[in-house]
């Protein structure tokens, strides 16, 4: 492998020791070069030789001044080398070609180029970008109100506009995910945000029926397509052992942003619905620019020939464990979306008003905002299969509490319980997907996870709507409990793979080996 294609050394898989063969990059404590290979050392590496007494000795060559060796490998001023600090040592210019000064501070001063409890600075810029986009997410909840009440179209046409947006959200992730894995995360993220902003401007300025449908599709395509790409960026820059915390914080940012967006959207809607869409478009562009300017390219080095021989779809379809995981996620999303169908009618049957429904529904966002950070500490070091199975059981039990609820307090308790299950499950799910994916296919694997979530959102209204119509609301909550237990059983069935942070298929390892040798 030509190390010049990965100057930052970000794409070694030090944390994936059980994942099988990995892309050779330094520093890897087990990588030993014989003396004959010293001429090929482009960066610090372990070299085997003999001392004056003829005893076998190993030492590091190519280390900068001030760095020493230890039993754990290279140590700079008493600190181990990390993947994030490799670019600084190398003197390279970015993860792929940008500014190394922006990637990490000098490791001699900040402990491996990471800040804020060990997560890389690059992650926090992605986090800020996610938060900005989430804060701007006040247009789509008001879409039907805008189309029906402000523009005067029928409710059926408003449904078609929402369907067009959903179609874009379904098509966007696999399309831009594939492009991001081939040409880079950085430009694709920016392009996706601009496409979404273009759609929002069209919704505000072009009120004709055809253009509303086209604009809604563009908005859904761009806004939802960037989410798996960002997840791939997080997997690129965060070590496997820190991904749980990183994705939990990412999920936390999304929920904080949506909470703020609800208030901002109401204020803007009272002034002008047109400005709801234009302000959302502006925040979309700002979010894309923050990530584009502050986060260099993180795509691992790869060869186009690999993409001709291996495809992500083929790898995913060949991996029964990952398919089982996606099926479990689809079912989980179905249960998670059941309150949008059945909770309001169930509360109404007990004489509770729509206002009370709004109060109960707000428990979800408040609980995530308050509990996500403490939950991160509790979940640290837990096995993914155990935690996700627990989350599935808890969400099922939380939904089943509605069977005995008769007042707003018990309904609120139900929301609190299933919100805990939601937090636990989604703290692990994106990190598990990152572990399954070969590095050069992370965006496409995250897109598959996103499509499973959208499939659950589409299936839930049909499944629970017919259940309510023919069997009543109680049957919905019993069904949610049963599905939660099924998800937990499925997760435990594939526990061995889920608990491996470098879990990849045999074909996936072969594809990664081709990348390494290209």
Bridge partners (DSSP) of residue 76 are: 67, 79
pLDDT band, residue 411 (cuts 50/70/90): very high
Mean pLDDT of 115-140: 84
pLDDT number for residue 144 = 80
**Structural tokens at position 87:** 């670019």
pLDDT band, residue 435 (cuts 50/70/90): confident
**Structural tokens at position 226:** 């960037």
3-state SS, residue 69 = strand
Higher pLDDT, residue 73 or 191: 191
- Residue that is written with structure tokens 């139900």 in the block: 414
pLDDT number for residue 42 = 39
- Residue that is written with structure tokens 């210019």 in the block: 93
Higher pLDDT, residue 27 or 231: 231
pLDDT number for residue 500 = 64
Mean pLDDT of 285-312: 75
414-425: string of b/e by CB count within 10 Å (b at 16+)? Answer: bbbbbbbbbbbb
3-state SS, one letter per residue, for 468-487: HHHHCHHHHHHHHHHHHHHH
Higher pLDDT, residue 35 or 336: 336
Lowest mean per-residue pLDDT among 109-113, 199-203, 246-250: 109-113
**pLDDT beyond 60 at 78:** no
| Of 151-160, 172-181, 226-235, 474-483, highest mean pLDDT | 474-483
Rounded Cα distance between 258 and 135, Å, is: 6
pLDDT number for residue 469 = 83
Q: How far is CA 347 from CA 48, 72, 356, 462, in A?
A: 72, 60, 8, 20
Rounded Cα distance between 342 and 464, Å, is: 7
**pLDDT beyond 70 at 439:** yes
**pLDDT beyond 90 at 265:** no
Q: Are 450 and 172 a contacting pair, CB within 8 Å?
A: no
Q: Are 174 and 447 a contacting pair, CB within 8 Å?
A: yes
**pLDDT beyond 60 at 91:** no
pLDDT band, residue 456 (cuts 50/70/90): confident
pLDDT band, residue 210 (cuts 50/70/90): very high
**pLDDT beyond 90 at 215:** yes
**pLDDT beyond 90 at 394:** yes
pLDDT number for residue 87 = 33
Rounded Cα distance between 364 and 340, Å, is: 12
pLDDT tens track for 130-149: 999 999 888 877 888 888 88
Rounded Cα distance between 22 and 503, Å, is: 12
pLDDT band, residue 160 (cuts 50/70/90): confident
Mean pLDDT of the chain: 74
pLDDT band, residue 416 (cuts 50/70/90): very high
Higher pLDDT, residue 358 or 277: 277
**pLDDT beyond 60 at 304:** no
| Backbone phi, psi, residue 48, to 5° | -95, 135
**CA neighbor of 7 nearest in space, from 101, 105, 100, 106:** 100
**Structural tokens at position 346:** 């169930």
**pLDDT beyond 60 at 68:** no
pLDDT tens track for 475-517: 999 999 999 999 999 998 887 767 765 555 454 555 555 555 5
CATH number of 117-299: 1.20.1250.20
| Backbone phi, psi, residue 151, to 5° | -95, -15
pLDDT number for residue 389 = 94
Q: Are 446 and 324 a contacting pair, CB within 8 Å?
A: no
3-state SS, residue 57 = strand
CATH architecture of the domain with residue range 309-518: Up-down Bundle (1.20)
Rounded Cα distance between 424 and 120, Å, is: 23
pLDDT number for residue 192 = 93
- What residue ranges of the chain are covered by domains with CATH 1.20.1250.20? 117-299, 309-518
pLDDT number for residue 49 = 44
The H or E element that residue 50 is part of is strand 45-50
pLDDT tens track for 236-254: 888 888 888 888 888 888 8
Rounded Cα distance between 290 and 199, Å, is: 20
Q: Are 406 and 350 a contacting pair, CB within 8 Å?
A: yes
Q: Are 256 and 318 a contacting pair, CB within 8 Å?
A: no
**Structural tokens at position 85:** 């600090």
């Amino acid at each position: 492998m030509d190390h010049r294609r990965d100057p930052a050394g970000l794409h070694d898989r030090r944390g994936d020791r059980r994942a099988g063969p990995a892309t050779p990059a330094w520093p890897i404590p087990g990588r030993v070069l014989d003396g004959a290979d010293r001429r090929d050392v482009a960066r610090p590496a372990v070299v085997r030789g003999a001392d004056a007494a003829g005893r076998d000795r190993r030492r590091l060559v190519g280390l900068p001044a001030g760095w020493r060796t230890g039993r754990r490998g290279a140590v700079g001023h008493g600190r181990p080398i990390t993947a994030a600090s490799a670019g600084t040592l190398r003197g390279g210019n970015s993860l792929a070609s940008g500014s190394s000064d922006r990637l990490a501070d000098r490791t001699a001063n900040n402990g491996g180029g990471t800040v804020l409890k060990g997560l890389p600075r690059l992650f926090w810029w992605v986090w800020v970008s996610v938060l900005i986009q989430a804060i701007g997410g006040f247009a789509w909840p008001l879409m039907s109100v805008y189309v029906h009440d402000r523009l005067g179209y029928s409710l059926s046409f408003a449904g078609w506009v929402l369907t067009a947006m959903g179609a874009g959200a379904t098509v966007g992730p696999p399309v831009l995910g594939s492009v991001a894995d081939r040409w880079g995360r950085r430009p694709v993220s920016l392009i996706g945000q601009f496409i979404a902003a273009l759609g929002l401007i069209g919704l505000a300025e072009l009120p004709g029926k055809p253009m509303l449908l086209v604009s809604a599709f563009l908005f859904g395509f761009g806004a939802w397509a960037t989410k798996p790409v960002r997840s791939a960026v997080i997997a690129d820059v965060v070590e496997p052992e820190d991904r749980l915390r990183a994705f939990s914080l990412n999920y936390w940012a999304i929920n904080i942003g949506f909470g703020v967006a609800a208030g901002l959207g109401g204020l803007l809607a009272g002034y002008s619905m047109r400005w709801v869409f234009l302000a959302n478009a502006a925040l979309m562009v700002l979010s894309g620019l923050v990530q584009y300017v502050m986060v260099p390219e993180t795509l691992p080095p790869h060869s186009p020939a690999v993409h001709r021989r291996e495809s992500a779809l083929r790898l995913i379809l060949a991996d029964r464990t990952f398919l089982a995981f996606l099926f479990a996620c689809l079912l989980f999303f179905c249960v998670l979306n059941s309150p949008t169908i059945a909770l309001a009618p169930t509360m109404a049957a007990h004489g509770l008003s729509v206002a009370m429904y709004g109060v109960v529904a707000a428990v979800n966002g408040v609980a995530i905002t308050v509990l996500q950070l403490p939950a991160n500490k509790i979940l640290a070091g837990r096995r993914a299969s155990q935690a996700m199975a627990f989350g599935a059981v808890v969400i099922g039990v939380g939904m089943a509490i509605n069977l005995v609820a008769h007042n707003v307090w018990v309904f609120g308790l139900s929301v609190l319980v299933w919100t805990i299950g939601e937090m636990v499950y989604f703290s692990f799910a994106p990190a598990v997907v990152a572990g399954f994916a070969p590095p050069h296919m992370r965006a496409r694997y995250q897109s598959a996870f996103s499509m499973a979530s959208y499939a659950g959102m589409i299936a839930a209204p049909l499944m629970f709507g017919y259940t309510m119509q023919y069997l009543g609301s109680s049957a919905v909550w019993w069904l949610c409990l049963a599905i939660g237990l099924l998800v937990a059983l499925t997760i435990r069935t594939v526990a061995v793979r889920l608990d491996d942070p470098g879990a990849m298929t045999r074909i996936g390892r072969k594809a990664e080996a081709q990348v390494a040798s290209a």
